[in-house]
Amino acid sequence: MKTLSPQAFDAMARLFHSASGIRLNASKRALVNGRLQRLATEAGETGLDRYVEKLLSGGAPAQEMTRLVDKLTTHETYFFREPQHFNHLAGHLAAMVP
């Protein structure tokens, strides 16, 4: 299966943002490409660009958007999973203490 064209990636990024509020920049193209491969195959599409066209045209079942958002999001539910988040908050709190 081919990779997403730049135009299809941009369209997917806009669609994903409107559905989830999450922005995908160009550095995420390989990740998006990899995760969409399985969805496209399961949807009976032979190409990723065609899969994106199907989503954009409304030709996909409603639950396909749910599957798309689920596949493209990171499922971490705990707060401060990244050390820099905790370090930033600790520094901010330390600056507030006289």
Q: Any idea what the CATH number is for the domain that residue 60 is in?
A: 1.10.155.10
Q: Residue 74 has what pLDDT?
A: 79
Specify the DSSP class assigned to residue 26.
Answer: G
Q: pLDDT tens across 11-65, in order? A: 999 999 998 999 999 999 999 999 999 999 998 998 999 999 999 998 888 899 8
Position 79 pLDDT exceeds 70: no
Q: How many CB atoms are closer than 10 A to CB 27?
A: 7
Q: Residue 41 has what pLDDT?
A: 92
Domain that holds residue 83: 6-96
Contacts of 88 (CB under 8 A, 6+ apart): none
C-alpha 96/C-alpha 98 separation (Å) is 6
What value does the mean pLDDT take over residues 3-7? 93
Q: Residue 80 has what pLDDT?
A: 62
Flag whether 1 is in a domain: no
Q: Residue 36 has what pLDDT?
A: 93
Quote the number of domains for the chain.
Answer: 1
